[in-house]
Structure 1
Amino acid sequence: MGVRLLMLGLLALVIAFGAKVPSVSAKPMVACDRLLSVRASEAYAPFSMKSVGGSAVGLDNTFIARVLDSIGCKYRFVFLPWKRSLYAIKTGDLDILPSASFTKERTAYGWFSRPYRNDVSGFLVRRGEARKFNIHDLDDVVKYDLRIGHVRSAYRGEEFKKFVSNPENQQHVIDLPRAEMGISLLINGRIDMLIGIPEASYMQAKIRSLDDKVEIHPFVLGKEPVRLMYSRQTMSPELVRRIDDAIERETKFAWYRDLYGEKAVTAN
């Protein structure tokens, strides 16, 4: 009995010391004093994907690497779901979150960079149904009694935020942990539309050889710039400004415009 208690005690110590320790610095970094952690998505083509070899690839990751390299910052990409990423920014367990929309709520725990590309949000639907639902605004979602798949905590503009805040509309919104799950639910008829960046959703379906089963709905929900979001716990305003200056420099080069095309912030 004594041996068993001793073993349980040792196990408790191992668990305690092996638990994840938050990476919150005593003082936010003014310079790149350590390896920066940057969130990456496994399935957000063409902006962020996980390669066969396990590396973070895609347009956003290419751009971020170029920016951080230009100022001598070392970094590592970390694959995390979106909702967990926001929490990690808040706690300081993540330094940088790309593809973030600016909201007042998020400024309580995060800094924001200048915009580095533009996003167009809308819907992915089943093949042949883009013209079936003549949608001009979100009220038509209620009119046609449609179900929208929506990634938890993802910001899709003030119009959608207002729509979801109405209790009568909440039955039309199905929360999803990951966007790729939404593609399967869409094809199987569990939802009618998948809200997000239609191009990214379509490319993810194409990677899975499912592009013949889905199409982009012509309705455009919104257009807005996206930014890098930084943890206030680990990143100082001085370091944020330094990265901002690098973003501004890089967006003036031809390689940047070639990378993002019409989504480049300098394209409009």
Structure 2
Amino acid sequence: MQSGGKRWLGLLLCGICGSFTAAEAVAQSVVEGVAQSVVKSVVKKCPVQIRLPYNSNWLPYIKVTDETITGSDIELIRQVMQDVGSELVLLSMPESRALNDLESGKVDLLFGASYTDARAQFAWFSKPYRHEVDVVIVHPMVLQRYPELTSKTAFFDLARRKLIGTFNPKGFYGAQFEQLKQLEVVQHRSVAIFDAEQRMALVLSQRADFTLVDEASIRLSFDEQPMYQQLQILPFELYRADIHLMLSKKTIDATCVEQINQSLNKIRGRS
């Protein structure tokens, strides 16, 4: 009888032990789940929506029609936004506002950006996703007057002394041109215009001697707009640069930038 009681007690205790073991497993699972949730909440994600301003065609990077907004840079950004779990919100906006609105946090993202220390004060820069070559466009009559313009050194000398240039006031065309355009005599002669077609029109009408353009973009424009074919590209690179996405430090966390970089690496690995 005593022996049977001990066996019964042993079974009871083992049952209790088993119950405690199961309970502990459930409790541990709950704790681990809570911990994972806490970790996920601590790691900041990209915003639910990321706002990108646009204004006009800049082939091949953006093409704007009544029905769609597409282009190589836009499609790349759409893929990145899908990877990081953010909705891309496209905002029609004058180019003159875009950089200031990025600095103030009214928009989150700009594309086609070259790095400068001044911009890095208020914006993150992604890893480069392409490169850009800027070239000088002139009317043939300008080359007739100044045949030495085929030299980069001669271009900078003449641009400093007498040529009338038109360019994007927010554009960066390299440190050498940046120094040139700060000269007071150059500022008095220069025509700063945001709209690329207006700049080209000034050169076509010979009201400006030169403008600065992205080489890939202008070669497409030559194909699509025959009137531009009379203009000439000077035979040197004004500036070559890596091109980045710019993200507002007001609205985008560094962790989100890292996620965007991971997506860019993945996309480049497939191309």
TM range (shorter): 0.7 to 0.9
Identity value in percent: 20
Contact 2:48–2:85 (CA under 8 A) maintained in structure 1: no
Q: CA–CA distance in 2 between the matches of 1:114 and 1:84?
A: 24
Unaligned runs of 5+ in 1: 1-28, 255-268
Match of 1:158 among 175, 178, 181: 175
Task: Output aligned runs, 1:225-244, within 5 Å.
Answer: 225-244=242-261
Return closer, same or farther for 1:33/1:221 CA change in 2, 3 Å cut-off. Answer: closer
Conserved 8 A contact 2:80-2:263? yes
Which of the residues 130, 133, 145 maps onto 1:117?
130
Larger Rg: 2
Q: Shift of the alpha carbon at 1:177?
A: 2.3
For 2:143 and 2:260, how far apart are their aligned partners in 1?
41
Query: What are the superposed Cα offsets for residues 68-121 of structure 1, whole Å, 9 maximum, x if unpaired?
Result: 222322112223333311011011111100011111111221111111110001
In structure 2, the residue matched to 1:215 is: 232
- Partners of 1:126 and 1:251 in 2: how far apart? 38
Name the SS of the counterpart of 1:93 in structure 2. coil
Among 103, 110, 125, the residue aligned to 1:97: 110
The 5 A counterparts of 1:1-268 are 30-53=44-67, 55-127=68-140, 132=147, 133-137=149-153, 138-142=156-160, 145-204=162-221, 206-254=223-271
| Alpha-carbon distance between aligned partners in 2 of 1:212 and 1:121, rounded to the nearest angstrom | 18
Aligned alpha-carbon RMSD (Å): 2.2
Please tell me whether the aligned partners of residues 32 and 73 of structure 1 are also in contact (alpha carbons under 8 angstroms): yes
Cα distance, 1:43–1:130 mapped onto 2, change above 3 Å = farther
Q: Shift in Å at residue 187 of structure 1?
A: 0.8
CA 1:52 to 1:213, structure 2 compared with 1: closer, same or farther past 3 Å?
farther
Quickly say closer, same or farther: Cα 1:199–1:172, change in 2 above 3 A.
farther
SS in 1 for 2:185: coil
- In the alignment of these two chains, the number of paired residues is 224
Aligned counterparts of 2:61 and 2:245: Cα–Cα separation in 1: 13
What TM-score results when the alignment is normalised by the length of structure 2? 0.75
- Determine the C-alpha separation between the residues in 2 that align with 1:245 and 1:34: 18
Question: AA paired with 1:158?
Answer: A
Give the whole-Å Cα distance in 2 for the aligned partners of 1:50 and 1:105: 30
Q: Is the 8 A contact 1:112 1:230 kept in 2?
A: yes
Q: Is the 8 A contact 2:56 2:63 kept in 1?
A: yes
- Rounded to whole Å, the distance in 1 between the matches of 2:141 and 2:229 is 10
TM-score by length of 1: 0.76
Is the Cα contact below 8 Å between 2:131 and 2:242 reproduced in 1?
yes
